Amino acid sequence: MSCTGETTTTTSSPTATQPPVTTTTPAVTTTPASTDVAPLPAKARFRVATTTSLYDTGLWGYLEPMFEKKYDVEVDILSLGSGAAFEYGKRGDVDVVTIHDKPNELKFVSDNFGVERVPFAYNYFLIVGPPGDPAGIKGMNPEDAFKKLMATGEGTFVSRGDNSGTHSMEKTIWTNAGFNYADVQKAGAWYVESGLGMGPTLNLANEKHGYTLADMATYVAFKAKLNLVPIVDKGSLLLNVYSVIAVNPEKVTVVKNIKMANNLVSFLTSPEIQELIGKYGAKEYGIQLFTPCAGNEPKG
C-alpha cells in the first residue's frame, strides 16, 4: 500500500464492471472484486524531535494522544538530546523540534532552519548528588560548586556528554566558572561523560555515588529509585526553558508538514493544554514539574 492509501494488485480477479465468476473447481472460489472494501486512507504522519527530559518524564506520552485525536494524525516521536534534535531538523528528518537550549535555538532560527522559537514551559536545573556531599558544595551557586569540584576532585561528576540542552548548560556553567571545557574533559577520573539521556545519566550517577546536572522534572520522576538529593538549586543560570520550533520549509525543502507543525505550536500554547502541562505530575509527585509560559520568555 502506498502512503496515499492506494492499492496495487496483480491478481486476475474480475473488475468491478464484470459479473461474479464461479469456478467449477470445488477447492477454489473467487470473490467478486465489486464486494472488496477499499482501505481507509492512511493518516498523515508527523515527525517530532523532542528532548529526552520531555520524554522521560512522560509528558509527551500524556499529550501525544490528545494531539493525534484533535488533528487526526499519527505522531512519530524521536527522543534525542537537543544537539541531535537540531541536526534532525536541519536535514528535514523531523517537522518540528521541542528542546531546551536557548542559545542554539536562537541560532537555529537565525540561520533560517527554524521558523520561530516559542517557549511553552519551564522549570529549573539542579546539581544532585549523594546525601553525604563529599565535595562539600551544598548550597553554593553553580559556578562556585563547579570550581570546588575542579579544585578538590572529590566525588565523581557524571556529565551527559551528548550535546543535549542539559550538556550545553553544564558547559556554560564551566565557562562562567572560568574554565575551558576541553580542559575539564581531561581533568581526571572524577569527570565521567555518559553520552546518555537524562534518565540513564541519573542512574549512572547513582551507581557511582556521584553528582550530575539534571532538569528538575526528570530528577523528580526518577528520585524514588535514586539515592541522590538536590545539592545546588539556586542561581538564575539554572532556569530551564522548553521551546517548540517548526522547521522552516523554505530552508529545508524536504519538509512538507508546516501546517501540522504550526498546529503543534498552537496546541502547546493553548490555554487548555497549558493548564494540563502545569498540572502534569503534580498529584503523583507532590510538586509541579513544569510551569506553563504560553509563548512568553520566563525571567527565572
CATH of the domain at 166: 3.40.190.10
Indicate whether 104 and 249 sit together in one domain: yes
Q: Is residue 27 part of a domain?
A: no
Residue 38's pLDDT is what? 54
**Assigned domain for 190 exists:** yes
Residues 112, 156: one domain?
Answer: no
Per the structure, the count of domains in the chain is 2
Is 66 part of any domain? yes
Domain-embedded: residue 39:
no
Domain interval for residue 72: 44-122+239-292
195, 143: one domain: yes
Place of cell 537555529: 108
Q: Which three cell numbers stand for residue 159?
A: 556529565
Dihedral pair phi/psi, residue 103, rounded to 5°: -55, -45
pLDDT at 194: 97
* Chain segment 196-225, per-residue pLDDT in tens: 999 999 999 999 999 999 999 999 999 999
What is the structure's pLDDT at 109? Answer: 98
| Predicted pLDDT of residue 153 | 87
Asked, for residue 150, whether it belongs to a domain, the answer is yes
Where does a domain end: 238, 256, 283?
A: 238
Contact 5, 41 (CB under 8 A): yes
Q: What value, to the nearest 5°, has the Cα angle with vertex 296 and ends 295 and 298? A: 135
| Same domain, residue pair 98 and 139 | no
> Which of 89, 18, 20 lies closest to 51 in space, CA to CA?
89
Within-domain flag for 35: no
Task: Identify whether 210 is part of a domain.
Answer: yes
Burial of 57 (0-12, 13-18, 19+ CB in 10 A): buried
Residue 5 resides in a domain:
no
Residues 168 and 211 in one domain: yes
Separation in Å, CA 199 to CA 96, 105, 161, 194: 23, 23, 14, 11
Instruction: Label the pairing between strands 239-246 and 212-215.
Output: unpaired
Q: pLDDT at position 114, please?
A: 98
pLDDT tens for the 300 residues of the chain, in order: 333 333 333 333 333 333 333 333 344 444 444 445 555 456 668 999 999 899 999 999 999 999 999 999 999 999 998 999 999 999 999 999 999 999 999 999 999 999 999 999 999 999 999 999 999 999 999 999 999 999 998 889 999 999 999 999 999 999 999 999 999 999 999 999 999 999 999 999 999 999 999 999 999 999 999 999 999 998 788 999 999 999 999 999 999 899 999 999 999 999 999 999 999 999 999 999 999 999 888 886
Can you give the pLDDT at residue 116?
Answer: 98
Question: Contact at 8 Å (CB) between 233 and 118?
Answer: no
Residues 162 and 219 in one domain: yes
Same domain, 231 and 243: no
Q: Are residues 130 and 199 in the same domain?
A: yes
Residues 260 and 233 both lie in one domain: no
pLDDT value at residue 300: 63
In a shared domain, residues 67 and 53: yes
3-state secondary structure the chain: CCCCCCCCCCCCCCCCCCCCCCCCCCCCCCCCHHHCCCCCCCCEEEEEEEEHHHHHCCHHHHHHHHHHHHHCEEEEEEEECHHHHHHHHHHCCCCEEEECCHHHHHHHHHCCCECCCEEEEEEEEEEEECCCCCCCCCCCCHHHHHHHHHHHCCCCEEECCCCCHHHHHHHHHHHHCCCCHHHHHCCCCCEEECCCCHHHHHHHHHHCCCEEEEEHHHHHHHHHHCCCEEEECCCHHHEEEEEEEEECCCCCCCCCCHHHHHHHHHHHHCHHHHHHHHHCCHHHHCCCCCEECCCCCCCC
If asked whether residues 257 and 285 sit together in one domain, one would say: yes
88 and 232 together in one domain: no
Short-list 138, 136, 96, 114, CA closest to 259: 96
